[in-house]
Structure 1
Amino acid sequence: MTTDPNHVVLDSSTLKALAHPLRVALLGALRRHGPSTATLLGQRLDISSGSASYHLRQLEKAGLVTDDAGRGNARDRWWRAAHRMTEMDDRDFGDGDAEVVDEYLRSIASAYTRQLEQTVNARATMQPDWRHVMDLSDYLLRVTPDEARTLAMRLHAVVREFRYDRPGNPAPAGAEPVSVVLQILPQPVDEDPS
Protein backbone atom coordinates (compact mmCIF):
# COMPACT_ATOMS: atom_id res chain seq x y z
CA MET A 1 0.00 0.00 0.00
CA THR A 2 1.35 3.43 -0.95
CA THR A 3 1.99 6.33 1.41
CA ASP A 4 2.46 8.80 -1.47
CA PRO A 5 0.01 11.71 -0.92
CA ASN A 6 -0.29 12.10 -4.71
CA HIS A 7 -1.53 8.53 -5.05
CA VAL A 8 -4.88 7.10 -3.95
CA VAL A 9 -5.73 3.41 -3.61
CA LEU A 10 -9.45 2.92 -4.10
CA ASP A 11 -11.52 1.55 -1.26
CA SER A 12 -15.21 0.71 -1.39
CA SER A 13 -16.47 4.31 -1.03
CA THR A 14 -14.00 5.88 -3.48
CA LEU A 15 -14.65 3.07 -5.95
CA LYS A 16 -18.41 3.76 -5.81
CA ALA A 17 -17.78 7.47 -6.38
CA LEU A 18 -15.69 6.71 -9.50
CA ALA A 19 -18.00 4.04 -10.92
CA HIS A 20 -19.47 6.57 -13.34
CA PRO A 21 -17.99 7.55 -16.73
CA LEU A 22 -18.57 11.27 -16.21
CA ARG A 23 -16.78 11.26 -12.86
CA VAL A 24 -13.80 9.44 -14.36
CA ALA A 25 -13.76 12.06 -17.16
CA LEU A 26 -13.99 14.98 -14.70
CA LEU A 27 -11.17 13.65 -12.52
CA GLY A 28 -9.08 12.93 -15.63
CA ALA A 29 -9.62 16.47 -16.95
CA LEU A 30 -8.55 18.00 -13.62
CA ARG A 31 -5.43 15.84 -13.57
CA ARG A 32 -4.56 16.54 -17.19
CA HIS A 33 -5.40 20.24 -17.41
CA GLY A 34 -5.20 21.46 -13.82
CA PRO A 35 -7.73 23.28 -11.63
CA SER A 36 -11.00 24.36 -13.20
CA THR A 37 -14.57 25.41 -12.53
CA ALA A 38 -17.67 23.31 -13.17
CA THR A 39 -18.55 25.68 -16.01
CA LEU A 40 -15.19 25.28 -17.74
CA LEU A 41 -15.21 21.52 -17.19
CA GLY A 42 -18.74 21.37 -18.62
CA GLN A 43 -17.56 23.16 -21.74
CA ARG A 44 -14.52 20.89 -22.05
CA LEU A 45 -16.60 17.70 -21.68
CA ASP A 46 -19.70 18.99 -23.49
CA ILE A 47 -22.00 18.65 -20.47
CA SER A 48 -24.01 21.17 -18.46
CA SER A 49 -22.27 23.03 -15.67
CA GLY A 50 -24.99 21.77 -13.31
CA SER A 51 -24.19 18.17 -14.16
CA ALA A 52 -20.44 18.83 -13.78
CA SER A 53 -21.06 20.53 -10.44
CA TYR A 54 -23.18 17.63 -9.13
CA HIS A 55 -20.59 15.01 -10.06
CA LEU A 56 -17.72 17.13 -8.69
CA ARG A 57 -19.51 17.28 -5.33
CA GLN A 58 -19.79 13.46 -5.36
CA LEU A 59 -16.06 13.22 -6.05
CA GLU A 60 -15.41 15.72 -3.25
CA LYS A 61 -17.39 13.60 -0.76
CA ALA A 62 -15.11 10.68 -1.63
CA GLY A 63 -11.97 12.82 -1.16
CA LEU A 64 -10.97 12.62 -4.84
CA VAL A 65 -11.30 16.34 -5.63
CA THR A 66 -11.03 19.40 -3.46
CA ASP A 67 -11.35 23.18 -3.57
CA ASP A 68 -8.44 25.03 -5.10
CA ALA A 69 -8.24 27.52 -2.24
CA GLY A 70 -6.03 29.98 -4.13
CA ARG A 71 -8.64 30.59 -6.82
CA GLY A 72 -12.26 31.48 -7.21
CA ASN A 73 -14.73 33.79 -5.58
CA ALA A 74 -18.26 33.62 -4.23
CA ARG A 75 -19.57 32.91 -7.73
CA ASP A 76 -16.97 30.54 -9.21
CA ARG A 77 -15.73 27.55 -7.25
CA TRP A 78 -12.46 26.11 -8.52
CA TRP A 79 -11.74 22.41 -8.20
CA ARG A 80 -8.52 20.41 -8.33
CA ALA A 81 -7.69 16.72 -8.22
CA ALA A 82 -6.69 15.62 -4.72
CA HIS A 83 -4.25 13.02 -6.14
CA ARG A 84 -2.24 12.55 -9.35
CA MET A 85 -2.81 8.80 -9.63
CA THR A 86 -5.49 6.23 -8.81
CA GLU A 87 -4.89 2.55 -8.17
CA MET A 88 -7.37 -0.27 -7.72
CA ASP A 89 -6.64 -3.86 -6.73
CA ASP A 90 -9.80 -5.90 -7.25
CA ARG A 91 -8.55 -8.39 -4.66
CA ASP A 92 -9.38 -5.70 -2.06
CA PHE A 93 -13.09 -6.06 -2.84
CA GLY A 94 -15.57 -8.81 -2.08
CA ASP A 95 -18.19 -10.43 -4.25
CA GLY A 96 -20.70 -7.78 -3.13
CA ASP A 97 -18.61 -5.12 -4.91
CA ALA A 98 -18.27 -7.03 -8.22
CA GLU A 99 -20.88 -4.93 -10.03
CA VAL A 100 -19.30 -1.66 -8.86
CA VAL A 101 -15.82 -2.88 -9.87
CA ASP A 102 -17.16 -3.77 -13.32
CA GLU A 103 -18.86 -0.38 -13.69
CA TYR A 104 -15.66 1.40 -12.69
CA LEU A 105 -13.67 -0.64 -15.24
CA ARG A 106 -16.26 0.19 -17.93
CA SER A 107 -15.86 3.88 -17.05
CA ILE A 108 -12.08 3.61 -17.41
CA ALA A 109 -12.42 1.79 -20.74
CA SER A 110 -14.76 4.54 -21.97
CA ALA A 111 -12.28 7.24 -20.91
CA TYR A 112 -9.41 5.43 -22.68
CA THR A 113 -11.48 5.08 -25.84
CA ARG A 114 -12.40 8.78 -25.81
CA GLN A 115 -8.75 9.79 -25.24
CA LEU A 116 -7.52 7.51 -28.03
CA GLU A 117 -10.09 8.90 -30.47
CA GLN A 118 -9.15 12.49 -29.60
CA THR A 119 -5.47 11.75 -30.12
CA VAL A 120 -6.01 9.97 -33.45
CA ASN A 121 -8.26 12.85 -34.60
CA ALA A 122 -5.54 15.38 -33.65
CA ARG A 123 -2.71 13.39 -35.23
CA ALA A 124 -2.68 15.38 -38.49
CA THR A 125 -1.96 18.61 -36.62
CA MET A 126 0.80 17.20 -34.39
CA GLN A 127 4.44 18.14 -34.85
CA PRO A 128 6.08 15.44 -37.03
CA ASP A 129 8.45 14.38 -34.22
CA TRP A 130 5.45 13.65 -31.98
CA ARG A 131 3.32 12.16 -34.74
CA HIS A 132 6.06 9.63 -35.54
CA VAL A 133 6.46 8.41 -31.94
CA MET A 134 2.77 7.62 -31.52
CA ASP A 135 2.50 3.87 -30.98
CA LEU A 136 -0.57 1.64 -30.85
CA SER A 137 1.05 -1.77 -30.47
CA ASP A 138 -0.56 -4.87 -29.08
CA TYR A 139 0.91 -8.26 -28.27
CA LEU A 140 -0.87 -11.53 -27.60
CA LEU A 141 1.19 -13.39 -25.00
CA ARG A 142 0.71 -16.69 -23.20
CA VAL A 143 1.53 -16.22 -19.52
CA THR A 144 0.51 -17.48 -16.11
CA PRO A 145 -1.22 -15.16 -13.62
CA ASP A 146 2.10 -14.82 -11.73
CA GLU A 147 3.93 -13.92 -14.95
CA ALA A 148 1.21 -11.38 -15.80
CA ARG A 149 1.67 -9.73 -12.38
CA THR A 150 5.45 -9.67 -12.91
CA LEU A 151 4.98 -8.15 -16.36
CA ALA A 152 2.71 -5.44 -14.94
CA MET A 153 5.17 -4.61 -12.13
CA ARG A 154 8.07 -4.35 -14.58
CA LEU A 155 6.13 -2.15 -17.02
CA HIS A 156 4.98 0.14 -14.22
CA ALA A 157 8.58 0.44 -12.99
CA VAL A 158 9.76 1.50 -16.45
CA VAL A 159 6.97 4.08 -16.78
CA ARG A 160 7.76 5.54 -13.34
CA GLU A 161 11.30 6.29 -14.56
CA PHE A 162 9.79 8.82 -16.99
CA ARG A 163 7.27 10.60 -14.72
CA TYR A 164 8.02 14.31 -14.82
CA ASP A 165 4.78 15.53 -13.29
CA ARG A 166 5.99 15.47 -9.70
CA PRO A 167 7.37 18.42 -7.76
CA GLY A 168 11.15 18.45 -7.72
CA ASN A 169 11.38 16.36 -10.87
CA PRO A 170 11.44 18.91 -13.71
CA ALA A 171 10.94 17.79 -17.29
CA PRO A 172 13.80 18.27 -19.76
CA ALA A 173 13.57 20.91 -22.47
CA GLY A 174 11.22 19.87 -25.25
CA ALA A 175 9.20 17.49 -23.08
CA GLU A 176 5.46 17.38 -23.67
CA PRO A 177 2.74 15.38 -21.90
CA VAL A 178 2.15 11.88 -23.25
CA SER A 179 -0.36 9.30 -22.14
CA VAL A 180 0.92 5.78 -21.52
CA VAL A 181 -1.90 3.29 -21.06
CA LEU A 182 -0.88 -0.10 -19.72
CA GLN A 183 -3.41 -2.85 -20.21
CA ILE A 184 -3.06 -6.50 -19.37
CA LEU A 185 -6.28 -8.01 -20.61
CA PRO A 186 -6.91 -11.73 -20.10
CA GLN A 187 -8.56 -12.94 -23.29
CA PRO A 188 -11.68 -15.13 -23.28
CA VAL A 189 -10.85 -18.66 -24.30
CA ASP A 190 -12.36 -19.48 -27.69
CA GLU A 191 -14.34 -22.68 -27.69
CA ASP A 192 -13.27 -25.24 -30.26
CA PRO A 193 -15.85 -24.97 -33.07
CA SER A 194 -15.40 -28.63 -34.09
Structure 2
Amino acid sequence: MDRSEHDLAEAMRAASRGDAAAYTRLLRDVAEWLRPIIRRELVRSGRSGADAEDIVQDTLLALHLKRHTWDEARPIGPWIRAIARHKLIDTLRLPRGRGNDVSIDEFGDVLVAHEPARPALERDVERRLDALPPGQRQVIQAIAIDGLSIGEAAAKFEMTAVAVRVALHRALKSLNSTAGVT
Protein backbone atom coordinates (compact mmCIF):
# COMPACT_ATOMS: atom_id res chain seq x y z
CA MET A 1 0.00 0.00 0.00
CA ASP A 2 1.42 3.41 -0.87
CA ARG A 3 1.75 6.26 1.61
CA SER A 4 -1.48 8.03 0.58
CA GLU A 5 -3.51 4.86 1.05
CA HIS A 6 -1.82 4.34 4.40
CA ASP A 7 -2.85 7.89 5.40
CA LEU A 8 -6.43 7.23 4.26
CA ALA A 9 -6.54 4.03 6.30
CA GLU A 10 -5.21 5.83 9.39
CA ALA A 11 -7.79 8.60 8.94
CA MET A 12 -10.57 6.00 8.61
CA ARG A 13 -9.41 4.23 11.76
CA ALA A 14 -9.34 7.53 13.65
CA ALA A 15 -12.78 8.42 12.28
CA SER A 16 -14.08 5.06 13.48
CA ARG A 17 -12.93 6.04 16.96
CA GLY A 18 -14.96 9.26 16.72
CA ASP A 19 -12.36 11.73 15.43
CA ALA A 20 -14.51 14.15 13.40
CA ALA A 21 -11.50 16.08 12.07
CA ALA A 22 -9.95 12.86 10.77
CA TYR A 23 -13.24 11.95 9.09
CA THR A 24 -13.47 15.36 7.41
CA ARG A 25 -9.86 14.99 6.26
CA LEU A 26 -10.57 11.46 5.00
CA LEU A 27 -13.53 12.57 2.88
CA ARG A 28 -11.60 15.53 1.47
CA ASP A 29 -8.58 13.38 0.63
CA VAL A 30 -10.67 10.61 -0.92
CA ALA A 31 -12.49 13.16 -3.09
CA GLU A 32 -9.20 14.67 -4.28
CA TRP A 33 -7.79 11.20 -4.97
CA LEU A 34 -10.86 9.99 -6.90
CA ARG A 35 -11.70 13.06 -9.04
CA PRO A 36 -8.96 12.59 -11.66
CA ILE A 37 -9.45 8.82 -11.73
CA ILE A 38 -13.20 9.08 -12.31
CA ARG A 39 -12.86 11.93 -14.82
CA ARG A 40 -10.31 9.86 -16.79
CA GLU A 41 -12.58 6.79 -16.78
CA LEU A 42 -15.58 8.85 -17.94
CA VAL A 43 -13.61 10.31 -20.84
CA ARG A 44 -12.15 6.88 -21.67
CA SER A 45 -15.72 5.58 -21.85
CA GLY A 46 -16.69 8.29 -24.32
CA ARG A 47 -18.52 10.42 -21.75
CA SER A 48 -17.99 13.94 -20.60
CA GLY A 49 -15.95 14.41 -17.47
CA ALA A 50 -18.72 16.70 -16.22
CA ASP A 51 -20.37 13.88 -14.24
CA ALA A 52 -17.20 13.25 -12.24
CA GLU A 53 -18.21 15.39 -9.27
CA ASP A 54 -21.60 13.67 -9.00
CA ILE A 55 -19.89 10.27 -8.98
CA VAL A 56 -17.35 11.44 -6.40
CA GLN A 57 -20.18 12.72 -4.16
CA ASP A 58 -22.13 9.48 -4.61
CA THR A 59 -18.99 7.55 -3.70
CA LEU A 60 -18.43 9.64 -0.57
CA LEU A 61 -22.03 9.06 0.47
CA ALA A 62 -21.64 5.31 -0.09
CA LEU A 63 -18.38 5.34 1.90
CA HIS A 64 -20.21 7.05 4.73
CA LEU A 65 -23.10 4.60 4.67
CA LYS A 66 -20.86 1.53 4.29
CA ARG A 67 -17.91 2.60 6.45
CA HIS A 68 -18.71 -0.15 8.94
CA THR A 69 -18.03 -2.77 6.25
CA TRP A 70 -14.35 -1.88 5.84
CA ASP A 71 -12.10 -4.43 7.52
CA GLU A 72 -9.36 -2.41 9.24
CA ALA A 73 -6.92 -5.29 8.73
CA ARG A 74 -7.24 -4.96 4.95
CA PRO A 75 -6.02 -2.18 2.62
CA ILE A 76 -8.49 0.67 2.22
CA GLY A 77 -7.61 1.55 -1.40
CA PRO A 78 -9.24 -1.46 -3.07
CA TRP A 79 -12.34 -1.01 -0.90
CA ILE A 80 -12.70 2.65 -1.93
CA ARG A 81 -11.94 1.88 -5.59
CA ALA A 82 -14.59 -0.87 -5.64
CA ILE A 83 -17.24 1.51 -4.34
CA ALA A 84 -16.20 4.20 -6.83
CA ARG A 85 -16.19 1.65 -9.66
CA HIS A 86 -19.77 0.65 -8.85
CA LYS A 87 -20.87 4.30 -8.80
CA LEU A 88 -19.12 4.88 -12.12
CA ILE A 89 -20.77 1.82 -13.66
CA ASP A 90 -24.17 3.01 -12.41
CA THR A 91 -23.60 6.32 -14.21
CA LEU A 92 -22.35 4.68 -17.39
CA ARG A 93 -25.45 2.49 -17.51
CA LEU A 94 -27.68 5.54 -17.70
CA PRO A 95 -28.61 6.54 -21.24
CA ARG A 96 -26.66 9.41 -22.71
CA GLY A 97 -28.42 12.72 -22.60
CA ARG A 98 -30.34 11.69 -19.49
CA GLY A 99 -30.27 15.21 -18.12
CA ASN A 100 -30.58 18.69 -19.40
CA ASP A 101 -28.71 21.67 -18.08
CA VAL A 102 -31.16 24.50 -17.84
CA SER A 103 -30.36 27.86 -16.38
CA ILE A 104 -32.49 28.78 -13.40
CA ASP A 105 -33.24 32.06 -15.20
CA GLU A 106 -35.24 30.07 -17.75
CA PHE A 107 -37.58 28.89 -14.99
CA GLY A 108 -38.40 32.51 -14.13
CA ASP A 109 -39.79 33.07 -17.63
CA VAL A 110 -41.92 29.93 -17.34
CA LEU A 111 -43.29 31.00 -13.97
CA VAL A 112 -44.18 34.50 -15.19
CA ALA A 113 -45.85 33.06 -18.30
CA HIS A 114 -48.10 30.90 -16.11
CA GLU A 115 -48.93 33.55 -13.52
CA PRO A 116 -52.75 33.41 -14.05
CA ALA A 117 -52.72 29.69 -13.23
CA ARG A 118 -50.83 30.28 -10.00
CA PRO A 119 -52.80 27.93 -7.69
CA ALA A 120 -52.28 25.00 -10.09
CA LEU A 121 -48.65 26.00 -10.51
CA GLU A 122 -48.15 26.16 -6.75
CA ARG A 123 -49.60 22.66 -6.38
CA ASP A 124 -47.31 21.41 -9.13
CA VAL A 125 -44.27 23.02 -7.48
CA GLU A 126 -45.22 21.53 -4.11
CA ARG A 127 -45.69 18.09 -5.67
CA ARG A 128 -42.29 18.26 -7.37
CA LEU A 129 -40.57 19.51 -4.22
CA ASP A 130 -42.17 16.72 -2.18
CA ALA A 131 -40.71 14.18 -4.63
CA LEU A 132 -37.15 15.34 -3.86
CA PRO A 133 -35.02 13.65 -1.22
CA PRO A 134 -35.27 15.55 2.10
CA GLY A 135 -31.77 17.05 1.91
CA GLN A 136 -32.30 18.40 -1.59
CA ARG A 137 -35.76 19.66 -0.69
CA GLN A 138 -34.48 21.58 2.34
CA VAL A 139 -31.67 23.18 0.29
CA ILE A 140 -34.09 24.24 -2.48
CA GLN A 141 -36.51 25.58 0.15
CA ALA A 142 -33.77 27.56 1.89
CA ILE A 143 -32.18 29.05 -1.23
CA ALA A 144 -34.93 29.38 -3.84
CA ILE A 145 -37.90 30.03 -1.57
CA ASP A 146 -36.53 31.49 1.69
CA GLY A 147 -33.82 33.44 -0.13
CA LEU A 148 -30.81 32.26 1.86
CA SER A 149 -27.36 32.47 0.32
CA ILE A 150 -25.23 29.36 -0.21
CA GLY A 151 -23.20 30.30 2.86
CA GLU A 152 -26.28 30.88 5.00
CA ALA A 153 -27.78 27.56 3.94
CA ALA A 154 -24.47 25.80 4.67
CA ALA A 155 -24.43 27.25 8.17
CA LYS A 156 -28.10 26.46 8.77
CA PHE A 157 -27.73 22.80 7.76
CA GLU A 158 -24.17 22.39 9.09
CA MET A 159 -22.91 21.54 5.62
CA THR A 160 -20.03 22.84 3.55
CA ALA A 161 -20.81 25.37 0.83
CA VAL A 162 -19.71 22.76 -1.73
CA ALA A 163 -22.17 20.21 -0.33
CA VAL A 164 -24.97 22.80 -0.51
CA ARG A 165 -24.08 23.59 -4.13
CA VAL A 166 -24.05 19.88 -5.01
CA ALA A 167 -27.44 19.35 -3.33
CA LEU A 168 -28.84 22.42 -5.12
CA HIS A 169 -27.47 21.24 -8.47
CA ARG A 170 -28.91 17.76 -8.02
CA ALA A 171 -32.27 19.14 -6.90
CA LEU A 172 -32.48 21.45 -9.91
CA LYS A 173 -31.46 18.57 -12.16
CA SER A 174 -34.21 16.39 -10.66
CA LEU A 175 -36.77 19.15 -10.95
CA ASN A 176 -35.70 19.73 -14.53
CA SER A 177 -36.14 16.06 -15.45
CA THR A 178 -39.57 15.83 -13.79
CA ALA A 179 -40.67 19.00 -15.57
CA GLY A 180 -40.11 17.35 -18.93
CA VAL A 181 -37.89 20.22 -20.09
CA THR A 182 -35.88 19.35 -23.18
TM category (shorter chain) comes to: under 0.3
Question: Which one has more relative contact order, counting CA pairs under 8 Å at least 6 apart?
Answer: 1
**Structure with greater helix percent:** 2
After TM superposition, the score normalised by the length of structure 1 is 0.24
